[in-house]
Structure formats: structure tokens, C-alpha cells
Amino acid sequence: MQAKRFCAGLLASVAVAAACAAADVQRIGATPQLAAMPAVAGPFAPSPARAALGRQAFFDPRLSEPAGTSCASCHDPRRAFSGNHGSRLGVPLGARADLVGLRNTPSALYVAYVPRLFFYQDDDALAATPFGGLFADGRADDVPDLVRHPLMNPLEMHNRSLADVARKLRAAPYADGLRREFGARALDTTAGALAALGKAMESFLQSREMAPFSSRYDAWVQGKAPLTALELRGLKLFKNPDKGNCASCHKFNETSSNPARSLFTDFGYDAIGVPRNRAIPATRDPAYFDTGLCATAAAATWPERAQWCGYFRTPGLRNVAVRERFMHNGAFSTLRDAVAFYATRGIEPERWYKDGVLFDDVPKAYRGNVNAATLPYNRRKGMQPALDDAEIDAIVAFLRTLTDAPWETRAP
């Protein structure tokens, strides 16, 4: 009964609908454990009127305090809807010049495909593990739930209260549009105004513009254009479990003509131990750590939550070559470094960890959580790397084929 009611609440997400209909759902804290992996979500068909309103709000610089910072300031359309608002630190500048964030801005493309947080136990897995949820730590369930985070985050859009945001929405040029779509009284209350904004944003993020699937990889899958020999070599290395093994987390299916099967993530979580980004002002405090999923685990009262400290959601790699910085803390500024890190993390740790402390961005107590068991990072000093320099180059060449058409000419 409990489980059934919970599923009803989840049905808005296409991804879990199928699983909920079929399976009995248990709970881990407030998070459902699904008996079957949900099917790939989409295609989405949001109302064009709502998507257009969401787009207007996404680009509206009046929604910050002080005005001037829109969602698009960080999720910059010139950078495939990622970027850091002009900051060179690897994390974004906020609405005030003295405010800098804590995490690198991910792309807002393909967000519609991120399922709600759930647990699932694969046949050969020892235990159920979490998948999905928005943000690097999965703490938001869907876009209507997510929007208040950037709006209220003092390091981002810096609003004083949701009531202030609602007032700004009532005065926005698209206020009448929101009333037309969501009801004449939709903006009368703070909760109503935020809900209308959230639903409009969700429609925008589900629109075709925000999931173009127009990369050279997509053309190749559909037999419309070739990839070069180097790119194909990169694809094989990316997939090969004895080489890059990248596809074990960054999942794709090059034999399916459904592009949503190639999002280059399984939405799972892992601790890969990226180096500390000392340019983030918060890291001046040696006790400051971003522990990722374990904060979400604590909020949802999962059992044995310390096992998730250092875990972050595996990002999709579409348009990765257009990104300014890489990883949740923006520690890397080139795509090649991000790939080389995997191959040489254990073999040349001094190249990555400046103070000689392995996994220096994970609190000492949780360093054992960092994945050192699976390829390509199951290597130690003196061993051969899983990928040599030429193989790293091939993987980078392959990753560049994942850039959608609007950014093809801009990929650095």
C-alpha cells in the first residue's frame, strides 16, 4: 500500500513509471529501491507555450539579487549550457562579484533524461546502489524541486526569500503568459508562483533545443556520416573493459538508433578521487570538504551513509569537449587531463596531488571509499597504465564527436 502510493507520486517521471507499474518497491530512507532498472525516458513532448515561457525565465537576469545573473549566466548557451559565469576558478561567480560557488556548473542539456533518485541491485552486484537524482549529489528530485536551489543559494542567485522571487515573477514580462498557462491566480501565492516557474523551466529543459542529439556520433550511429579511424579507435578503447573501461559507467549503445540509449552515463555514483581544487575559496579552510552523496544520504536517513562520502553522480559526456572545466570541483581545465587522470592516477600520483596526499579532496576517514578496484584506475606505482598517451589521445578524439551541431565550430 505504502509502496503503491509512493509510486503514484513518481509516475510523473517517465523513467520510473514502467518499473513502478511492474515491481514491488521497497524503501531506503525516502528513496525507492526498484526491482528492475527503469527504461530510458523520453521522448518528451512539452507544451511549446510552456517551454517558451521557461526559456524566457531561464534567460531572465532579473531573477537574481542584485539583478544581472540569469540561469543562462552559468548555464551559458555558448558553452552548451555549461560555464562558470566568467570565473576562472573552476566554480561559478555568483550574483555578487564577491561570491563564488562550490561546484563546477554542469550542462543543462539532456537534464530531462536524469531519472529520480532510486536504488537498484544488479544481478551480480553485492548490494543495491543509488542512481539518478539532479545535482552531483542527487539531492533534487525534479526540475520544479530544483529551481529554488540556485535562486536561493547565497553563492548563486542570492535571493533573500522565495517571496521576493515570487514578486519578481509577478512583475516579469512573461507573468501574463504564466497565468495563461497555469491559471489566473497561479502567481498569487509564493508557492503557486514557484510551482509555475518550476513547471515552465521543466518544459524548457524537456524541449528539443535542450536535447538536440545532433552530434557527429549521432550521425554515425544512424549511418549518415563516418567517424575517422582515430575516433573509432577511441570508441573501442572507451568501451573495452581491459582498456579504458569507460563505458562501464559512461554507458552508451552504438547499435541502437535511439540516441537516448547513448547518454554516456548510467546515472550511477562513484568516488574517483579527483584532486582538490585549491582555487575554490572555501578550500582555504582545511576542514572544508565536499563529500557529495553522503550529504544526501544523511538527509534521507539511508543506513550506513558514510560509505557514500566522496561519491558523485557520473555525468553524461555529450558536449564534454565544450566544457570550460571538468569534474564536480572543476579541478581540470583540459579534457585531455580529465582522461589522462584516469590512466595515471595511481601510477603518477604526484602529477595530480600537489601535496603528495592521495585523494586529497576526500576527508581522510573516507579515502577508502575511492574506487581503486576497477579499470582503468586499479594501478599503482611501477605498473603499466591502462592507457598510453596515444590511446588517451584517441579517447579524447572520440569524446569530441559527442559535440552537438550548434557547438561543433566552437569546441576548443
Q: Which is nearer to ligand HEC, 85 or 216 (CB)?
A: 85
48/118 Cα distance (integer angstroms)? 30
59, three cell numbers: 534567460
- The CA-to-CA distance between both ends of the chain, in Å, stands at 53
To ligand HEC, the closest distance from the beta carbon of 343 in angstroms equals 7
Out of 19, 52, 227, 249, the residue judged to bind ligand HEC by CB under 6 A: 249
Out of 25, 146, 221, 300, the residue judged to bind ligand HEC by CB under 6 A: 146
Q: Is 244 in the site for ligand HEC (CB under 6 A)?
A: yes
DSSP strand E in 55-160: where? 118-120, 129-131
To ligand HEC, the closest distance from the beta carbon of 22 in angstroms equals 27
Residue found by looking up cell 533518485 in the block: 117
Strands 129-131 and 118-120 turn out to be antiparallel
271/290 Cα distance (integer angstroms)? 12
Q: Which is nearer to ligand HEC, 73 or 307 (CB)?
A: 73
Q: Is 15 in the site for ligand HEC (CB under 6 A)?
A: no
* Nearest CA-CA partner of 280 in 96, 370, 155, 152: 155
Q: Is 374 in the site for ligand HEC (CB under 6 A)?
A: yes
Choose the binding region for ligand HEC from 17-25, 32-40, 151-159, 209-217 (rule: CB under 6 A): 151-159
Q: Which is nearer to ligand HEC, 116 or 328 (CB)?
A: 328
61, three cell numbers: 537576469
Q: Is 309 in the site for ligand HEC (CB under 6 A)?
A: no
Residue found by looking up cell 510551482 in the block: 195
What is the total count of residues that contact ligand HEC (CB under 6 A)? 52
Residue found by looking up cell 545535482 in the block: 135
To ligand HEC, the closest distance from the beta carbon of 231 in angstroms equals 13
Q: Which is nearer to ligand HEC, 23 or 128 (CB)?
A: 128
To ligand HEC, the closest distance from the beta carbon of 360 in angstroms equals 13
Q: Is 106 in the site for ligand HEC (CB under 6 A)?
A: yes
Out of 116, 276, 323, 379, the residue judged to bind ligand HEC by CB under 6 A: 323
Q: Is 293 in the site for ligand HEC (CB under 6 A)?
A: no
- Residue 270's H or E segment, with its range, is strand 269-270
Q: Which is nearer to ligand HEC, 186 or 392 (CB)?
A: 392
Out of 15, 20, 51, 201, the residue judged to bind ligand HEC by CB under 6 A: 201
352/271 Cα distance (integer angstroms)? 16
Helix pair angle (190-205, 162-170), 10° resolution: 70
345/331 Cα distance (integer angstroms)? 14
Q: Is 376 in the site for ligand HEC (CB under 6 A)?
A: yes
Q: Is 277 in the site for ligand HEC (CB under 6 A)?
A: no
Out of 113, 182, 312, 352, the residue judged to bind ligand HEC by CB under 6 A: 312
Residue found by looking up cell 539511508 in the block: 302
Report, in angstroms and rounded to the nearest whole number, the Rg of the chain calculated over CA atoms: 21
To ligand HEC, the closest distance from the beta carbon of 67 in angstroms equals 12
By CB under 6 A, what part of segment 118-137 binds ligand HEC? 134-136
104/350 Cα distance (integer angstroms)? 24
Residue found by looking up cell 555568483 in the block: 94
Q: Is 198 in the site for ligand HEC (CB under 6 A)?
A: no
Q: Which residues, 6+ apart, have CB-to-CB distance to 213 below 8 Å? A: 259, 260, 404
Kindly report the number of other CB atoms within 10 A of residue 98's CB atom. 7
Q: Is 385 in the site for ligand HEC (CB under 6 A)?
A: no
Task: Report how far Cα 214 is from the mean position of its chain's Cα atoms.
Answer: 20
Choose the binding region for ligand HEC from 11-19, 163-171, 369-377, 400-408 (rule: CB under 6 A): 369-377
Longest dimension (CA), the chain: 69
Q: Which is nearer to ligand HEC, 173 or 223 (CB)?
A: 173
Q: Which residues, 6+ apart, have CB-to-CB distance to 64 below 8 Å? A: 70, 95, 151, 156, 157, 158, 159
Out of 50, 79, 85, 233, the residue judged to bind ligand HEC by CB under 6 A: 85
Binding-site ranges for ligand HEC (CB under 6 A): 58, 69, 71, 73-75, 85, 92, 94, 101, 103, 105-106, 108, 111, 114, 134-136, 146-147, 150-151, 156-157, 201, 244-246, 248-250, 270, 272, 274, 312, 314-315, 317, 320, 323, 326-328, 335, 338-339, 342, 371, 374, 376, 395
